[in-house]
Structure 1
Amino acid sequence: MSGKYLFTGGYVATLDDTIGDIPNGAVLVENGIIQAVGRAEDMKYPDAEVIDATDGVVIPGMVDTHRHASMSLTRGLGTDQSLFHFLSNTYLRWLPATSVDDMELSSMVGGLEALNSGVTTIMDTCETFNSGDHAEAEFNGLKRSGVRAFYCFAMGDDAYGRASVGMEGWEARLAHLQDMRSKTSPEDLVQVGMALSQPGTVPFDLTKVELKFAEQHGLLCCSHSCAVENSIITKDIEDRANHGLMMPGHVYIHCTNLTKREIELIAESKGKVSIATETEMQMGMGIPPIRACIEHGINPSLSIDTSSAVAPDLLGQMRLALQMQRCLDNDAVHKTRQVPLDLEYGVRDALIWGTRNGAETVGMSDRIGTLTPGKEADIVVITSKHAISASAYPLGTAVLHSSPADVDVVMVRGEIKKRDGGLVGQNIPEIRAKAKAGLQHIMKNLEDMRPEMKQEEIRQFLLGAENVTRKNLAKAYFGEEEQGNWMREG
C-alpha cells in the first residue's frame, strides 16, 4: 500500500451521487487512499505516476458477493447441468477428488480470475468439506492471489478430517473457524467470515448456534436461502424469524423462491441479497429477484456463483441481469397488449449492482464501492482501445460491450494488480500449467469416486434432501409449548 498515482483522461464513473460522472476525469491515489477526484485539466500532480485512461472508463472495483473459489480448477464442468445434478457431483465427487494442494491452487486461480476481470473483492462461500487442511489451503490460496476477499468458512456436519459425521464433524468445523478467525487482523486483505450449514441439512439448534456465533464475533455471515423454486430446500427464513434469528447484514444468496412475507422479513431485518443470475437461470432455481429486491428497499448485488458452470466474469453477470430484467419488464407490458416505450433500468443500475451494492452487501460501503475521496483505492479501468469504433456513450459500452480482455488496469487498496491488460507479479504461463495439471489430478481422482448420478438417482437425491430439510426444520419447534389450534383460535 504505497505510491502516488493519477488516473487521468478517462470517463470517471464515481457512482458517488454527490460527485457524479466526470467525462474527462482524474482520480488521485496516495498510500492506498483516494485523495481527490475531478476534471483532468484541473488535476496536475507531477510527482504522481500517471495511469493514462484515455478512451477508457474508470470505475470502482467490482464486488462479487458469492463465488466458490474451491471449484476454479474445474472450469466448465457443470455447463450443462441442472442444480441437483450439479450438487450431487460437487458434494459426492468433485470436492472429494480435490487434494489439499489442488485446493490451494484452485483458490488462488479463482482470486486471479476475479482480478483479471476487474473484480477486486469476492465473498468466497467456501465448501472445503474434507478436512481442516483443505480449509487452510483455500484460505492461503486467496491470500496468494492478492484479491480482497471474505473467506466465508462453510459449516456442516459431514466428516472433517478425523472427526466423524454428525456432531463431531460440526464441532470440529466450528472450532477450526474460531481458530482461523483469531489469527486474522481487521486490516488483512482476506477476512474470515461464515457460511451457514446449508439450511435444513443440520438440526435447527445448530443453525441457531452458527448464527449466534457469527453475531457474537462480528463475522460476515451468508447462506444459500430460498434457492429452489417449488421446493422447500434451503427455505428456513420463516423459522429464523420465529426464533429471533433474522440478523442484520446477513447475506441471503439466490432467493429465487421467496414469498412476499419472506422478502419483507429480509428487508425489515436489514438483510442483504446476492443474485447469481446465470446459474439461477441455467440450473432451474427460478427467476433472479432483482425487481423484488428493489421494490422492497433491498439493494441487490451480483455474483458468478461458480466457474464450474459460468464464466468468472462479473461484467457478464451485469449484462445478463440487466437484460433479463428488461425482458421481464417488457413482457409484463406486452401482456397488457401494449408496446414497451421505455426502459426503467439502465447500464448505470447494472454497474451499481456489481460495485456499490456489492460493497454494501459485504459491509464495506464506508471503505470501497465508489470513487470517493477518503475511501480505499479499489479502482478499475475498462479500455476501448481494442474496439474498431469509438464509443458514443463510454459507460454503456463499458458495461454492455466489454469482457475481461478490456479490463486494462486493476488496483486493490492502492496496489496495481493488473496493468496494460496483464496481471502484475504473476507467472501466468506457470500458473496455467499448474492449473491444467491440477484439473488432470482431479479428473484422475474422479475415477475412484462413486459414478455420476443418472436422472432417477438425481430425483431421489432431491427427494431425500427435501425430507431431511423437513425433519431438521421441524426440530425448530420441538419442546415448544402448544399455542392452540389456528382454525379454532383464528
Structure 2
Amino acid sequence: MPLVLRNTSILITDDRITTIFDSSNPSDVPIPDSTERVSVQGKIVSPGFVDTHKHGWQTAFKTIASNTTLAEYFVRYGEFSQANTVFTPEDIYLGQLVGIYEALNAGVTSILDHAHSTFSRETSGASLNASMDGGVRMWWCYAFHDISNGFEVGDQIEDFRELKKDERLGESTVEGGIAYDGFSTAAKEEVQSIIDLATTSNISALTTHFLGGPWFFANSPKLLHDLDFLNTSFPIVFSHSSFISSEDASLLRQTNQYISTTPESEMHYSHDHPTTHFIQDQAALGVDTHFTYSADIVTQARLWLQSTRLGLFRQTVNRWKIPKNSPMSVNQAFLLATRAGGLALRRPDVGVIQVGAKADIVVFDGSSPNMLGWTDPVAAVILHSNVGDVEHVLVNGEWRKKDRQLVLKEGLNMSKDEVEGKFLESAKRIQEVWMQTPLPDWKWDRPPGGIHSGLNLIV
C-alpha cells in the first residue's frame, strides 16, 4: 500500500529525487544555496499520474462525439475515417500539443500514446514534434495500419526508421515505440515485418488494442504468445483487454506484461470490462480518447474503483446477502494511477516518490472546499479532488504547472495564447467538416480498415 509521510521535504536535483527528509531537521541535509524552495504545508504531494493508453491527436473533435459508440467511432473519428485525409500536419501538431497541456494541467506526467495519426510522413513528424514540445514524459508509439490514403505499411516502416534516428529522442522525455493492431488480422508477412522491426529497433514499448468477447481486435496475450512475441525485452501494453481470459491473465503474469484499462472509455463506447478486475495485479489505467470525456487519471481511478465495487457488491446483493467488506480500496486505485503505470512500462523510477526516482510530482491544494478536512491523503485525492486542486506539476524536475498556471516548455516558438488561438481555428474548421458529414448508415457488417469480426452490427 502507499506509504504516507507527513512533515516531510523532498530535495530534487536536476531530473531526479535525491533526498527525502524530515522537515523538522533540515539542517541534517546539505541543500545548495541556489535551491528553489516551495512551501507545500497543508498540501498533498503525489507522484505524477501515468496514462498508459491515449490517442493524443484527436483533441479537435472535443464535444462532437458525446453520444458516439465504438462502432461509429471507427468509421467517423478513428484512424480509418476521413481524418486520414482531412487533418493537416498542423492540425495534428496543435491537437497533440493541446491534448498534452490538458493532461499536464490535470497532473498527468507520463503518457503512452498510441499515435495513430501516422497518415503520412508529415503528420507523423508533426505528432512527434508536438510530443517533444509538450514537455510531458511520453512513450510515443508509432501506429502501423492499413489506411486507404496510399500511405502503406511499407512506407510507414521506412518513416518510422527515419524518425527513430532523431537525436532528440535520446535527449528529451519522449521515447519511441510501436503501436500495432494487425496481429490477428493482417497477412503473416506483414505481422512478421512488424515483429522484426520491434525486435531490432531498440523500442521502449509496444502497444496493441485487445478487446475480445464479441469485438474485433483479438490481439490477445495468447495470440502474441503463439507468435513467440510475448516474452520480450520491452514492455507490451494491451489496451482495454475487456474480455480477457484466465489463460491470457496467466500469460501476462508469467511474462510481466500489463493491460491498460480505460474505465470511462469502456463505459462510453460500449466495450465493457466484465473480467478486467481479475487482472488488476498486471493492470494500469488509461484515458483513451480524451475528446469524448475526462482526460485526468484521477477520474479514471475513481470510476474504476466505484464500478468495480458495484459489480462485486451486486453479486452479493443479487443473492439477497449483505456485503460485509469493500472489495477494493482507495489505495489500490491510487496505485493503479501511479506506480502500476510505471511498472507497466518497466520503469520503476516513474509513478513513485522515492530517492532515485524521476522528479515527476503533483501538488494538490489541501484547503479547497472539497478537500478541507482531509486526514487520509490517498482518499482525498482519489475520492475528493478535482483538476482545479492541482496546484503544481513537475516533469523531469521542470515546472509544467505552477500556481495553477501551465508552464510551457522552454524554446517553444509560440505563447500559450498563440497555441490556443491556432488550435481554435483548426478545431473550428475540422468540426465544420464533420458536422457536414452524414452519420454512418450502418449497412456494413464488417468493421472498416481490413479489421474483420465476421459479426453483424446490432443497433
TM-score of the pair, normalised by structure 2: 0.89
Quick one: which of 421, 434, 451 aligns to 2:422? 434
Unaligned runs of 5+ in 1: 1-14, 470-490
* Aligned-pair Cα RMSD in Å: 2.4
Instruction: State whether structure 2 residue 17 is matched by structure 1 residue 34.
Output: yes
Corresponding letter in the other structure for 1:274: S
Kept after mapping to 1: 8 A contact 2:15/2:358:
yes
Alignment partners' CA distance in 1, 2:175 and 2:189:
26
* Aligned pairs for 1:128-143 within 5 A: 128-143=117-132
| Count of aligned residue pairs for this structure pair | 440
Q: CA deviation at 1:301?
A: 0.6
Query: Which residue in 1 is equivalent to 2:412?
Result: none
Quick one: which of 1, 16, 39 aligns to 1:52? 39
Alignment partners' CA distance in 1, 2:435 and 2:62:
18
* Aligned pairs for 1:298-377 within 5 A: 298-365=281-348, 367-377=349-359
Query: Which residue in 2 is equivalent to 1:176?
Result: 159
Q: CA deviation at 1:429?
A: 3.4
Q: CA deviation at 1:66?
A: 0.7
**Cα distance change of structure 1 residues 105 and 359 upon mapping to structure 2, 3 Å threshold:** same
Q: What CA deviation, in whole Å up to 9, does each residue of 1:95-128 have, x standing for no partner?
A: 4322111110111111111111101110111111
Instruction: State whether structure 2 residue 11 is matched by structure 1 residue 24.
Output: no
Q: CA deviation at 1:154?
A: 0.1
**Cα distance change of structure 1 residues 457 and 402 upon mapping to structure 2, 3 Å threshold:** farther
Q: What CA deviation, in whole Å up to 9, does each residue of 1:323-345 have, x standing for no partner?
A: 11111221222234321121232
Unaligned runs of 5+ in 2: 410-414
Q: CA deviation at 1:275?
A: 0.8
Corresponding letter in the other structure for 2:138: A
Kept after mapping to 2: 8 A contact 1:277/1:317:
yes
* Aligned pairs for 1:427-466 within 5 A: 427-446=415-434, 451-454=438-441, 456-457=442-443, 459-461=445-447, 465-466=451-452
Kept after mapping to 2: 8 A contact 1:118/1:407:
yes
Kept after mapping to 2: 8 A contact 1:150/1:190:
yes
Kept after mapping to 1: 8 A contact 2:216/2:453:
no
Quick one: which of 245, 252, 263 aligns to 2:229? 245
Kept after mapping to 1: 8 A contact 2:243/2:274:
no
Corresponding letter in the other structure for 1:202: A
Kept after mapping to 1: 8 A contact 2:240/2:260:
yes
Alignment partners' CA distance in 2, 1:49 and 1:64:
29
Alignment partners' CA distance in 2, 1:182 and 1:430:
30
Moved over 4 A (4+): none
Q: CA deviation at 1:187?
A: 4.0
Q: What CA deviation, in whole Å up to 9, does each residue of 1:157-201 have, x standing for no partner?
A: 3256xxx36xxx111101111111122443421111100144434
Deviates more, 1:105-114 or 1:23-32: 23-32
* Aligned pairs for 1:203-242 within 5 A: 203-242=187-226
Corresponding letter in the other structure for 1:372: Q
Kept after mapping to 2: 8 A contact 1:152/1:222:
yes
Alignment partners' CA distance in 1, 2:159 and 2:141:
13
Corresponding letter in the other structure for 1:369: G
Q: What CA deviation, in whole Å up to 9, does each residue of 1:295-346 have, x standing for no partner?
A: xxx4311011011212111111011111111112212222343211212322
Query: Which residue in 2 is equivalent to 1:92?
Result: 81
Quick one: which of 166, 173, 179 aligns to 1:189? 173
